[in-house]
Amino acid sequence: MKCIIRPLTLEDEPFLWEMLYQALYVPAGHPAWPREIVQIPEIAHYVNGWGDQGDCGFLASNPVTGESIGAVWLRLLISNNKGYGHIDDNTPELSIAVLPEYRGQGIGTQLLTHLFAASEQSSISLSVSANNPAVRLYRRFGFEVVKSNQESLTMRRC
């Protein structure tokens, strides 16, 4: 599906909270995370205070219904506010999610293509569950593993 992509605004913060929840990987056969999990400080800072200087992102919407269906965003999380994909204090972290019913239709690819065309960042990092199928998408966009453990990967695109 070819979607409509536009820059995120402050008014999109409620949708970003939904996208943050949707970005949490749930392996097949496991129960969904409780919705309150996004309020845990080490997760919440990916959205809390959205619109700070340096925040950048895009929203995808269904061209027929206008429904918001996905988002991608960058935040620079530093000092005592580091994210799971922190590499250094100059590398913003990427977050991306698409509503479940729209996954597998190329929307993540469209969002990342748009973000990388618009971003002036020379380096971007992310954290992803090692078993998440999205790892293939990130590799296609040039992300490489810089740290790993049994559960997660920290990846960087330079």
Give the count of beta carbons closer than 10 Å to the beta carbon of residue 106.
15
Partners of 59 in beta bridges: 6, 71
78 in Cβ contact with 91 (< 8 Å): no
The domain of 82 spans 4-120
- Give the model's pLDDT for residue 75: 94
In a domain, 142, yes or no: no
For 49, the token pair is 């205070």
Q: What is the DSSP letter of 122?
A: S
CATH number of the domain that residue 40 is part of: 3.40.630.30
In a domain, 147, yes or no: no
Which of 57, 86, 62 is closest to 72 using CA atoms? 57
In a domain, 105, yes or no: yes
CA dihedral of residues 121, 119, 66, 11 (deg, nearest 10): 60
Low-confidence ranges of the chain (pLDDT < 50): none
In a domain, 67, yes or no: yes
Amino acid identity, residue 122? S
In a domain, 96, yes or no: yes
- Give the model's pLDDT for residue 152: 92
Write the CB contacts of 113 (distance below 8 Å, at least 6 apart in sequence): none
Distances from the Cα of 121 to the Cα of 72, 76, 94, angstroms? 14, 11, 11
33 in Cβ contact with 19 (< 8 Å): no
- pLDDT tens-digit readout, 85-104: 889 989 999 999 999 999 99
In a domain, 137, yes or no: no
- pLDDT tens-digit readout, 36-47: 999 999 999 999
In a domain, 55, yes or no: yes
In a domain, 151, yes or no: no
Count of the separate structural domains present in the chain:
1
- Give the model's pLDDT for residue 1: 86
- Give the model's pLDDT for residue 119: 81
- Give the model's pLDDT for residue 81: 81
